[in-house]
Amino acid sequence: MGKKIKYAVAGLGVGKTHCDAACQSKNAELFAVCDLQADRLEAAKAKYNGVLAYESYAEMLANPEIDIISVCTPSGLHADMAVQALETGKHVLIEKPIDISAERAMLIEQARVRTGLKAGVIHQNRFNAVMKPVKEAISDGKLGKLILGNFAVKWLREQDYYNAGDGWRGTWAMDGGGSLMNQAVHTVDIMQWLMGDVHSVSSSMGVYNHEIETEDLTVSIIKFKSGAVATLTSSTCCYPGISTDIQVYGSNGSIELDGDCLKLWKIIGGDAFEESEMLESYGGGNAANPSLVLGHAVQIEDIITAVLEDREPLIMPLEAIKSVSIVNAVYKSARSGAEIIL
């Protein structure tokens, strides 16, 4: 590949990870960054030699040399900023969640179709090394008929986390929710990716240990179109920050993960060597095996090569909308006390 993509990042919170990944790519250069906070821009200029720094997103969009923009701003701004980028001829990669509602997210899909440009969405946990064999085992029918899932995000966020910056976290307008929309949306994505389309949700939520307008705990029963059922829990109240349970049980076997760490791989009639090999390869997670750390870099490189090869990125807006729709169905169920059909 001859041409180097000129990459830009809007929002230097999680966007710093996007900056690092763009710098690591052999097919791109980090060309520009944008943020409203001057200290973040100064830090970026010091770290990334020669990078252009903008306080104005409109001014950055006006630069005709930029090829791709990562949108890493508060969630409630994603659709507006992604559509603006597409309309000015830039491809986009959008941080999770794609936006805070399916209706707003559809604006990105419509702009993508209208402009013919590339639009990808970050759901990097799909690319954790352990997820490939888990997804293949389920898709290949090794677990038989799926019966039960358990998905639980038991994290901790101190009040300072919500107070930081301009306080957008934990607000309905900019965060779109709390523990579920911000922290657990990755796990919601994994849940529907592994277990299939959701039929309905029945949920409870509340604010238990923070001063925020959104929730810090949700508990849901998820029914799938396949007939399987799952529990889904999200919390930012679990001291000291415990685990992410991803557990799938079928008529022919069971798989249990704690985040990226395989805990159980049992298949009826399965190969004992395969079970031992799986646990040895994936039982330590990223902490034990740094080569398993993939993260954002996979998707930043994917959008870069998608532009260079003129193909679609791995996760597109319509796929990313699924998790946002599930999250909002949980909120609707919790508020109404009713089972919500998707």
Residue 253: beta bridge partners?
Answer: 250, 267
Given a cut of 70, whether residue 286 has pLDDT beyond it is no
- Quickly state the pLDDT bin for 12 (edges 50, 70, 90): very high
Structure tokens at 67: 């090829």
Ranges 113-122, 240-249, 264-273, 302-311: which has the least confidence? 264-273
CATH homologous superfamily of 5-123+295-316 equals NAD(P)-binding Rossmann-like Domain (3.40.50.720)
Residue pLDDT, tens place only, 91-116? 999 999 999 999 999 999 999 999 99
Mean pLDDT to the nearest integer, 54-62? 98
Q: Is the dihedral of CA 326, 157, 259, 228 positive or negative?
A: negative
Residue 230 vs residues 251, 255, 287, 337, 341: alpha-carbon distances, Å: 15, 14, 28, 18, 15
Given a cut of 70, whether residue 291 has pLDDT beyond it is no
82, 92 in Cβ contact below 8 A? yes
Burial label for 51, CB within 10 Å (0-12, 13-18, 19+), is buried
Within the chain, all domains assigned CATH 3.30.360.10 are found at 126-292+324-341
pLDDT of residue 293: 45
Q: What is the CATH number that goes with domain 126-292+324-341? A: 3.30.360.10
> What single string gives the DSSP state of each residue in 186-218?
HHHHHHHHHH--EEEEEEEEE--SS--SS-SEE
pLDDT of residue 285: 63
Given a cut of 50, whether residue 290 has pLDDT beyond it is no
DSSP at 277: H
3-state secondary structure of 52: strand
Residue 71: beta bridge partners?
Answer: 10, 94
pLDDT of residue 2: 66
pLDDT of residue 153: 98
For residue 199, what are the contacts with CB-CB under 8 A and spacing of at least 6? 223, 224, 225, 341, 342
Percent of the chain with pLDDT over 90: 93
Residue pLDDT, tens place only, 114-134? 999 999 999 999 999 999 999
Within the chain, all domains assigned CATH 3.40.50.720 are found at 5-123+295-316
For residue 220, what are the contacts with CB-CB under 8 A and spacing of at least 6? 201, 202, 203, 204, 231, 232, 233, 330, 333
Reported pTM: 0.95
Residue pLDDT, tens place only, 214-229? 999 999 999 999 999 9
